[in-house]
Amino acid sequence: MKRIYLDNAATTQILPEVVKTMTDVLNAAYGNPSSTHTEGRQARSIIERARKSVAESIGASIGEIFFTSGGTESNNMAIKNAVRDLGVRRIITSKIEHHCVLHSVEQVHLTDKVNVAFVDNDHTGRIDLSHLEKVLSSNPELPTLVSIMHANNEIGTINPIAEIGEICKRTGAYFHSDTVQTVGHFPIDVSKLNVHFISGAAHKFHGPKGIGFVYINSDVHIKPFIDGGAQERNMRGGTENISGIAGLANALELSFKEMERHRQYIQGLKDYFWTKLKSNIPDIIYHGCPENSLYTVLNIGLPPNPKNEMLLMLLDIQGVSASGGSACSSGSEKPSHVIQALNSPLGTKAVRFSFSQFNTRSEIDRVIELLTNIYAPEPKVFTV
């Protein structure tokens, strides 16, 4: 049975071209990039070429890109360094950020006594901009970092980061946006945004795991995040992951090359899936904001059903990989903090399906059939 992988917001399948790039680098560029001999210089040039390519694709300058181990580290770095090095005393964030943001914020609150305020979101996961302005204006002298994600990884809702950036600019706040779900899927031009930090992770756009980057606007000066050697211009000590860096840059280049074609194709799959589910399953809910959503993510609320608790396992047994999050009032599954913040009706089963260019219409048909059989079975006709 060929499996149907619909968990691309968790991670994506690496592209064969990227594997080739990485293998070539692993085999050929084994020098330490900090060494001054030929092998070292060869490894260094691979890293710097990758940095240039990443910088160009998001409108940054070369000195603004720092390679990290992924989205989690990039977000930790932005938040913790802003507090330590920029004098930030207040963080304004939302309740539906990724845990790496929420837990970093919690940590600086506990250790540095940084003030934390949460900006409201509506029932679709959109940030309330007027509430953000109100919170910002309540204590204008407090050095502030606003940390609001570009797109939510569970429900796909996209926030207007250009507008948020403008609000931050007016009030003099620093702005960090977790862009892990949008880098490689949407054009992002930091030169046109008032943003100080954004983050990216290669495994979300068909690159390798364990490698990412943080963009740090050249106007902000922060100190090393990992103490050690002078790697990443003193910001992150440790010998670089050269093949990962080359793989990240290659995956990002490929994603930009085909972005519009993939966007249209994947959006078509998502729209088809939702239209069919909506007509087949009574009381199904769309979690998120259909008009402003990642084309790669569809999160649905399925009506109460005895099979809800086992749904993901049942799908897995049938060869379908999806992921959960639940608004149930009891039972073993822990409700997702994102779904909870949307006030989805109790008893609803939240399931996230997330798509890639490798999914097909017939795969989607198969999942529609499976879900319809559980949630809207054909009435049985008995003949005597």
Ligand X SMILES: Cc1ncc(COP(=O)(O)O)c(C=O)c1O
- Catalytic positions are 328
Q: Is 201 in the site for ligand X (CB under 6 A)?
A: yes
Q: Phi first, then psi: what are they for 337, rounded to 5°?
A: -65, -25
Out of 31, 33, 208, 212, name the contact with ligand X by CB under 6 A.
Answer: 212
How far does Cα 197 stand from its chain's mean position? 14
* From candidates 8, 21, 72, 93, binder to ligand X by CB under 6 A: 72
70 touching ligand X, by CB under 6 A:
yes
> Does 71 interact with ligand X (rule: CB under 6 A)?
yes
Q: According to the binding rule CB under 6 A, does residue 180 interact with ligand X?
A: yes
Contacting range for ligand X; rule: CB under 6 A; set: 68-76, 188-196, 286-294, 311-319 = 68-76
Between 25 and 100, name the residue whose CB sits nearer to ligand X.
100
Q: x/- site string to ligand X, residues 78 to 107, per CB under 6 A?
A: --------------------x-x-------
Helices (H), the chain: 16-28, 38-57, 71-86, 99-112, 129-138, 161-171, 242-257, 259-280, 311-317, 337-341, 361-375
77 contributes a contact to ligand X by CB under 6 A: no
Burial annotation 138-162 (CB, 10 A radius, 16+ → b, else e)? eeeeeebbbbbbbbbbbbbbbbebe
Is 255 in contact with 186 (CB distance < 8 Å)?
A: no
Cβ–Cβ under 8 Å, residues 257 and 62: no
Nearer residue to ligand X within complex by CB, 100 or 161:
100
43 near ligand X, judged by CB under 6 A: no
Amino acid at 336: S
Q: Which is nearer to ligand X, 159 or 348 (CB)?
A: 159
Instruction: CB nearer to ligand X: give 181 or 299.
Output: 181
CB of 204 to ligand X, least distance (A): 7
Least distance from ligand X to the Cβ atom of residue 6, Å:
15
As a whole number of Å, the end-to-end CA separation of the chain is 38
Distance CA 194, CA 59 (A): 12
Q: How far is the CB of 287 from ligand X (least distance, A)?
A: 16
Burial code (b: 16+ CB inside 10 Å, e: under 16) for 105-127 equals beebeeeeebeebbbbbeebbbb
Q: Residues 117-146: x/- map of binding to ligand X (CB under 6 A)?
A: ------------------------------
CA distance 202 to 97: 19
Of 60 and 158, CB closest to ligand X: 158
Which residue in the set 77, 79, 178, 235 belongs to the binding site for ligand X (CB under 6 A)?
Answer: 178
**Min dist. Cβ of residue 129 to ligand X (A):** 20
Which residues, in sequence order, are bridge partners of residue 213? 67, 200
What is 127-168 written as a DSSP string?
Answer: B-HHHHHHHHHHSTTS-EEEE--SB-TTT-BBP-HHHHHHHH
156 belongs to the binding site for ligand X (CB under 6 A)? no
Whether residue 105 contacts residue 79, with contact meaning beta carbons closer than 8 Å, is answered with yes
Region of 176-184, 256-264, 310-318, 328-336 interacting with ligand X (CB under 6 A): 176-184
Q: Is 296 in a helix, a strand, or coil? A: coil
Question: Between residues 44 and 352, which has the closer beta carbon with respect to ligand X?
Answer: 352
**Sites of contact with ligand X (CB under 6 A):** 70-72, 75, 98, 100, 149, 153, 178, 180-181, 201, 212
